[in-house]
Amino acid sequence: MPREVMEGSQAVARVVASCDVKVIAAYPITPQTHIVQELAKMHADGVIDCEYINVEAEFSAISAILGATAAGARSFTATCSQGLALMHEVVFASAGMRIPLVMVIANRALSAPINIWNDHQDSMAERDSGWIQLYCENVQEVVDSVVQAYKIAEHKDVLLPVMVGMDGFYLTHVYEPVEIPPKEKVVKFLGKFNYPYRLDPKKPVTMGPLGFPADYARLRKQLAEAVWNSKKVVRKVHDDYAKRFGRSYGDGLLEVYGDGGKAIVAMGSMCGTIKHMIDKDELEDVSLIRVRTFRPFPKDEIKDVLRDKDTVIVMEKNISLGNAGAVYLEVRDALYDEKRKPKIVNFIVGLGGVDVNRPTVKYVVEKAEKVKSGYVEIVDGNEISASY
Amino acid sequence: MGIGLKQFAPGHRTCAGCGSAIVFRHVLEALGDDVIICQATGCMEVTTTPYPETSFKVPWIHVVFENAASVASGVKRSLKAQGNNHTRVVAMGGDGGMIDIGFGAVSGALERGEDIIIMVYDTEAYSNTGLQRSGGTPFGASTTTSPAGKKIPGKQEWKKNIAMIAVMHGAKYVATANPAFWADLQAKIKKAYKLEGGPRLIHIYSPCPVGWHVEPSKTIKVAKLAVETGLWMLYEVEEGKLKINYKPKEFKPVEDYFKLQGRFKHLLGRKDIMEKIESHVREWWETMEKVEKEGINLLKMI
Amino acid sequence: MSKTKQRKDLPGGIITDIGSTARNKTGSWRTFKPVVNLEKCTGCGICEKFCPEGCITIQKVEGYDKPKCTINYDYCKGCLICMEECPFKVISSVVEEK
């Protein structure tokens, strides 16, 4: 199939059209805006046959696609940062209600100070919501992940919402050659949207009732188990997609790159830089473990790939304020029961769009040598210019 | 079968004498079976759906407090995309859910011209959480967050007029209703059901006996007095044209209405406040009657 | 009212057993009980329109030709709106005996 050079946001819009989405809700926010603008244009030109709702706030964007999906139509919206934070209440409710939504998050920093550039603090703040979270390295992966997201979300054993993370600007505004899987093929892969309990006057149901303590706890347990169990579906859908479309991303949960004894654990577009440095032998004895699926967290899988490493360096674009990076905390937790524990350190990088470039990676790897296990550092960028 | 029971089962946990329950029975009967209800958090949500039970026999969804109109927008567009143009979609919520916290969603749906019915059942306070002041609370009413104190005699602001706000959005049909005038209420719901292609908003007075400190048996009596004192006007605005549906020959004294309700108890004997309210009501009626008489098309104001 | 009891939790707590609050007999809440004087009841139906529970029907009652106010005490919470609103004052209240 042909590859075309296009902007990341345009690629998302094109693949959404391939997924036969029937309802789109749109609200602008940088750097997500190009996605819904592109969809608006396709809608206006009659390229996609769907309902396009220009809502008055992100809160209504997610509410509208929740309603649309509950009534039986595949839906889409995209957001980021403050928009996602505004959606927060419905992010939790939609998972609790088991509505299979799909949202693209153009990852961006949260206020304050207000900042429009990339990091992962927005979606990481939603990590406890029950949404499945995929973080992508490049535009092609975003395209493929959107298709997979619908397949995963709508799977009868899953019925959970999925967010696909793409780094704001780095991926939303970059021009890359990408292949957009054609609609016929995608529709065949996804099958007809068939939400089993939809709002239908012919078969009335009540959705979103009041749960007293015992019922609430049991239904939350049901939700927790659904999120844990979704891991095998995430993997299977990834594998099936790879067979049909010829592209894969590790095992769908993790991607292991190189076999150096010092493992960098990272997510998103900065993994491209790290891979490049490994390829060019710029880093000695370094491997990369890219976390693609952060929720459900691939705890066993990460333990398997990290247990024999000497050093684990978690580089991430978020911080759980008052402690350390969220990915670091979970990786550390995964290794707790191992007899032989590698040294593990945490570097918070790229906050608010600070460039995670080759000097940054070099700085992190070298610094990791010098510090003790448990070391946490926020790299604000000034260290780099001073030492490199 | 009794009124509304085909759509709405008994056994719900509303308080004895609940005005909103009366409203719901009439609304649901008038709507019939081919509807989807999208409801905001509130009394009529928690009392009717204690898992695993539900009072509703029509499709019903609740998500959170402030998004009923947005969920309804999504449901309606979804049906449209699937080729279903007959099922009516209703966003239902109280004054808290629709006039205050969910106001943005209501305004957005009105502005977009969504083909939905928006129903506000107005208990004039946050009844579900213990009667806190809302934008729907009338002037002078004592609530738990606008209590009648030694210095401040209850709420000091006038009620937010959601119906006229809807008119100013260019809504297709806007009406006010009251359960004491149940036939008028049902007729308005049926009219809203029939009119398609744009938003229809019905603002319904819903007495809350427990919150208002009213005898449960007096729910309808109070509702009737709200209309007869002129405090609650029954009107409709269709394509911009105002029609007042009921004009009391002579307004009953506001005091008659206040003395049945604990929330206004502190105003009894306060002639100054009573006169302020009565003159406010009089001026409102004069203005509205003038608009009606002169046939002013309110949509030409926007 | 409700036919089948929903046995297992569906995803997200979706309820398919519609109208199932009917299992909950709110008549047990009652302190005062409305009692209809059937001799005088005209069957006008005002009480039916204003009952919050929907537990009043105007129906055929044995021994009378015209339909009369019939209260389903399984659900009547005893608010006495019917008594207050009856235009012919044929409903009275008694203290509920339990």
Full DSSP string of A124-189: HTTTTSS-EEEE-SSHHHHHHHHHHHHHHHHSTTT---EEEEEETTTTTS-EEEE----HHHHHHH
- Is residue C42 a part of any domain in this protein? yes
Cβ(C79)–Cβ(B217) below 8 Å: yes
Distance CA B116, CA B139 (A): 31
Q: Touching check for C83 and chain B: CB below 8 Å? A: yes
Q: What are phi and psi of A160, to 5 degrees?
A: -130, 150
Assign residue C70 the CATH number of its domain. 3.30.70.20
> Which chains form contacts with chain C, at 3 or more CB pairs under 8 Å?
A, B
Instruction: Write down all domains in chain A, each with its CATH number in brackets.
Output: 4-245 (3.40.50.970), 254-387 (3.40.50.920)
B63 in contact with chain C, both atoms CB, cutoff 8 A: no
Taking the Cβ of residue B34 and every Cβ of chain A, the question of whether any pair is shorter than 8 Å is answered with yes
What does the pLDDT read at residue A383?
82
- Inform me whether the pLDDT recorded for B217 exceeds 80: yes
Closest chain C residue by Cα to residue B50: C21
For residue B199, give the amino acid letter: P
- Residue among C9, C16, C18 whose CB faces A219 most closely: C9
In this complex, do B179 and C20 lie within 8 Å of one another by their Cβ atoms? no
Neighbouring subunits of A (3+ Cβ pairs under 8 A): B, C
Bridge partners (DSSP) of residue A168 are: none
Which is it for strands A102-107 and A75-79: parallel, antiparallel or unpaired? parallel
Is C54 near chain A, with CB under 8 Å?
Answer: no
Query: Is C14 a domain residue?
Result: no
User: Rounded to whole angstroms, how far apart are CA atoms C38 and A339?
Assistant: 84
Contact in structure between B38 and B72 (CB atoms under 8 Å): yes
Rounded to whole angstroms, how far apart are CA atoms B97 and B271? 34
Instruction: Flag if C11 and A218 touch (Cβ within 8 Å).
Output: no
Q: Burial code of B200-218, b = ≥16 C-beta within 10 A, e = fewer? A: bbbbbbbbbbbbbebbbbb
pLDDT of C1 above 50: no
In a domain, C7, yes or no: no
Q: What percentage of chain A's residues is helix, strand, coil (to nearest 5)?
A: 40, 20, 40
- Beta strand B200-205 with B173-177 is parallel
Cα of B112 to nearest chain C Cα, Å: 30
Segments in chain A below pLDDT 50: none
| C11, C13, C15: residue with CB nearest A159 | C11
Q: Which residues 6+ apart lie within 8 Å of B297 measured at CB?
A: B239, B240, B241
| Minimum-distance CB partner of C15 among A96, A98, A205 | A205
Nearest one of A293, A248, A251, A288 to A271, comparing CA atoms: A288
Task: Look at B13 and C26 and tell me if their CB atoms are within 8 Å.
Answer: yes
Q: What is the pLDDT of residues C16-49, one digit of tens each?
A: 999 999 999 999 999 999 999 999 999 999 999 9
Among residues A215, A223, A219, the alpha carbon closest in space to that of A158 is found at A223
**A chain contacts of residue B112, beta-carbon cutoff 8 Å:** 53-55
Q: CB distance from C19 to chain A under 8 Å?
A: no
- Nearest alpha-carbon partner for A258 in A280, A230, A237, A231: A280
pLDDT tens digits, one per residue of B151-203: 999 999 999 999 999 999 999 999 999 999 999 999 999 999 999 999 999 99
Query: Across the interface, do A209 and C13 touch by the CB < 8 Å criterion?
Result: yes
Please enumerate residues of A whose Cβ is less than 8 A from a Cβ of C.
Answer: 96-99, 159, 197, 204-209, 211, 215, 218-219, 222-223, 226
d(CA A365, CA A359): 10
What is the total count of domains within chain C?
Answer: 1
Residue C76: pLDDT above 50?
yes
Strand, coil or helix: A82: helix
CA distance A40 to A24: 9
Q: Considering the domain boundaries, does residue C16 fall inside one?
A: no
Compute the nearest-CA separation of C14 from chain B (Å): 8
Query: What average pLDDT does the segment B224-243 reach?
Result: 97
Q: Which residue of A has its CA nearest to B54?
A: A206
Q: Distances from the Cα of A382 to the Cαs of A353, A379, A388, B55, B236, in angstroms? A: 13, 8, 10, 62, 65
A206 vs C9, C11, C18: nearest CB: C18
Which residue of B49, B74, B108 is in closest CB contact with A23? B74
d(C-alpha C6, C-alpha C21), whole Å: 12
* pLDDT band, very low/low/confident/very high, at B2 (cuts 50, 70, 90): confident
- Say how far residue B269 (Cα) sits from the centre of its chain: 29
Residue B17 predicted with pLDDT over 80 = yes
Structure tokens at A6: 């296009």
> Is the predicted pLDDT of residue C4 greater than 60, yes or no?
no
- In this prediction, residues B69-92 reach a mean pLDDT of 98
8 Å CB contact of B82 and A22: yes
Structure tokens at A291: 């976390």
Q: B149 near B162, Cβ under 8 Å? A: no
Q: Amino acid letter at A8? A: G
The model carries a pTM of: 0.97
Picking from A63, A97, A200, the nearest residue to B74 by CB comes out as A63
Question: Could you tell me if C11 and A158 are in contact, meaning their C-beta atoms sit under 8 angstroms apart?
Answer: no
- Residue C69: domain span: 35-98
Is a pLDDT exceeding 90 seen at residue C97?
no
The total number of residues written for chain A in this structure = 388
Q: Does C46 touch chain B (CB under 8 A)?
A: no
Q: Which residues of C touch B17 (CB under 8 A)?
A: 52, 77, 79-81
Q: Is there a contact between B74 and A204 if contact means CB atoms under 8 Å apart?
A: no
Instruction: Tell me how long chain B is.
Output: 302
Contact A199 B59 (CB under 8 A): yes
Q: Is C51 on the interface with B (CB under 8 A)?
A: yes
- Say yes or no for a CB contact (<8 Å) between A219 and C15: no
Q: Are strands C68-71 and C56-59 parallel, antiparallel or unpaired?
A: antiparallel
- Smallest CA-to-CA distance from B68 within A63, A72, A99, A161 is with A63
The ipTM estimated for the assembled molecules is 0.97
The pLDDT tens digits of the residues spanning A25-49 come to 999 999 999 999 999 999 999 999 9
Could you write out the DSSP letters of every residue in A34-63?
HHHHHHHHHHHTTSS-SEEEE-SSHHHHHH
Chain B touched by C28 (CB under 8 Å)? no
Residues of C in contact with A199 (CB under 8 A): none
- A-chain CB neighbours of C6 within 8 Å are none
Phi and psi dihedrals of B276, rounded to 5?
Answer: -60, -45
Give me the domains of chain B, ranges plus CATH numbers: 19-301 (3.40.50.970)
Q: Which amino acid is at A195?
A: Y
**Residue C88 resides in a domain:** yes
CB A35 within 8 A of CB A172: yes
Nearest-Cα residue of chain A relative to residue C11 = A98
Taking an 8 Å cut-off on Cβ atoms, the answer to whether A98 and C15 are in contact is no
Q: Is the pLDDT of residue C3 over 50?
A: no
Note whether A210 contacts B50, CB cutoff 8 Å: yes
Residues 6 or more apart whose Cβ sits within 8 Å of residue B289: B244, B247
Q: Is the peptide bond prior to B30 cis by the omega test (within 30 degrees of 0)? A: no
Structure confidence by residue, pLDDT tens digits, B188-200:
999 999 999 999 9
Question: What CA–CA distance (Å, rounded) separates C65 from A351?
Answer: 83
Alpha helices by DSSP H, A246-341: 270-279, 299-306, 326-334
